[in-house]
Structure 1
């Protein structure tokens, strides 16, 4: 299956802090930019951080229970290969990242078993990174 790159633009109220976070902590390649926005290569997809005042979801986090954890809503992220996920978890730990949900295996032993972790960027945007040992189970019921 061939996927087309998605484009996602998110609000940030501290452009410099988020530019550092996505560029240095994640090691994402920076693309075009201006005084109000920055493009990043987010695992082959286009992530754009746009400066704007703090949003309601950045002020107050909503969450829903999933597998015994409070999952922040809204959130975005990417499904990585297992080894990429493990390497990212270690990279984030090496930067002292505070996780909302520490890296762990969700739905262990069930259909949909997956590695997952949640964190916030410096402006309160929630991110989830996950991996499946068998990618064919991504949409399994």
Structure 2
């Protein structure tokens, strides 16, 4: 699958802890920075953390596959081997998961490996993987 990188801007309450999380925990490289924002390379995608004086702490969720999934979340679909490596690295670093690494919709259309975590500002991230890219948008119809 060959697609162009996406850009995502998101609010954070502290640039120092944000930089540590994205650079050290997730392995992002840092691009341009200023006193109020930081660009990161997240698996080839440009994400920009913008300093915000306060964020809402309310987390709305939906039940999906018996788990409380944050309605507002974003992330990257990785190749399965890369997802497995990331999941293991996060476990070894003692990351507290919202939803720990597991196989969702097992045996169904849309079967996928997934995990959810929060960044230091409470932004929910999901990293997922499919065995084949064709399954990403597959439906049971």
| TM-score for the superposition, normalised by structure 2 | 0.96
Report the Cα offset of residue 84 of structure 1: 0.3
Identify the residue that residue 88 of structure 1 maps to in structure 2.
86
Which residue number corresponds to residue 70 of structure 2? 72
SS of alignment partner, residue 86 of structure 1: helix
- 1:2 match: secondary structure: coil
What is the CA distance between 1:4 and its match in structure 2?
1.2
Please state how far the C-alpha of 1:105 moved relative to its aligned partner.
0.1
> How far 1:27 moved relative to its partner?
1.0
Shift, 1:2, TM fit:
2.3
> What are the ranges of 5 or more consecutive residues in structure 1 without an aligned counterpart?
none
Unpaired runs of 5+ in structure 2?
A: none
* Structure 2 match to 1:22: 22
Equivalent-residue separation in structure 2 for 1:94 and 1:48 (angstroms): 26
Q: Pairwise CA RMSD of aligned residues?
A: 0.8
What's the secondary structure of 1:31's corresponding residue? strand
Q: Deviations over 1:56-86 (max 9, x none)?
A: 2xx1111001000000120000000000000
> What secondary structure sits across from 1:117 in the alignment?
strand
Partner of 1:124: 122
Secondary structure at the counterpart of residue 124 of structure 1: coil
Superposed CA deviations along residues 72-121 of structure 1, whole A, max 9, x for unmatched, are: 12000000000000000011111110000000000000000000000000
1:55 deviates by 2.2
How many residues were matched structurally? 139
Map of 2:10 onto structure 1: 10
